[in-house]
Every structure is written in structure tokens, then in C-alpha cells.
Amino acid sequence: MQLLSIIILLTLTVVIHSLWMFGVLKFIRLEVDSAVRIVLRNVGIVISMIFAHLLEAGLFAAFYFVIDAFNDWNTSFYFSLVSYATVGYGDVTLPSTGGSSAVWKGWWAR
């Protein structure tokens, strides 16, 4: 069951990334005629990328919350963001049953 959960989460992460990339490619094809528009386009791309990553981290946070790995949403989201961006700080850890999903998430996000 844990392996199936990991496969589903990683597949959803790929779907989110793919949708974001399709949107960016469509956005880039617009004609750009000034330096200001180039800067604004790049800022828009980076902001949208941040939201895509937050959505993906939120997906894992929801998974951790649903399987009762943590008692509250804030801890689930904090752990998910820290594990998504790094290998974690160690101040919040998963119970032994959820550890491999965090490892897969950290590996996949690289």
C-alpha cells in the first residue's frame, strides 16, 4: 500500500509539473517587444513556478495529514516543505511507517 501511495503521489507531481511547463511554453511564445515585458514575463514564470512547487508540497502534506503521520495540518505542511526543499532539518520526523515516502519525495524533487 505504501508503494502504491508513493507512485500515486509522484505521478500527481509529474502531472502538476507538466501542466505548469505547458503553460509556461504557451506564455513564452507571446511576442515580446520590450525589456520591461521580458522582465515581467520572467517574474511571472518564477512566481508561477513557486506556486506549482507549493501545490506539490501541499499534495504531500495532505497525504501525510490523511494518513495521520502528524496531528495537525501546519506540521504536515512544514515537514513537507522542509523535506521537499532539502533533506529536512530533523526537528520534525515521520513515524517509521512513513519514512520511505519522504525519502522518495526528496529524491524525486531533485
At residue 73 the predicted structure's pLDDT band, cuts being 50, 70 and 90, is very high
C-alpha cell at 88: 529536512
Read off the amino acid at residue 71: N
Task: For residue 45, give the nearest of 20, 82, 69 by alpha carbon.
Answer: 20
Cα Rg of the chain (Å, integer): 17
Which of 1-5, 7-11, 43-47, 105-109 shows the lowest per-residue confidence on average (mean pLDDT)? Answer: 105-109
When pLDDT is averaged across residues 85-97 and rounded to a whole number, the result is: 74
Please check whether residue 100 is in contact with residue 2, taking contact to mean a CB–CB distance below 8 angstroms: yes
At residue 61 the predicted structure's pLDDT band, cuts being 50, 70 and 90, is very high
| Model pLDDT, residue 10 | 82
| Separation between Cα atoms, residue 40 and residue 30, nearest integer Å | 12
pLDDT tens digit string along 14-33?
Answer: 888 888 888 887 777 765 56
Q: Any idea where the domains of the chain sit in the sequence?
A: 2-100
Single pTM value for the model:
0.65
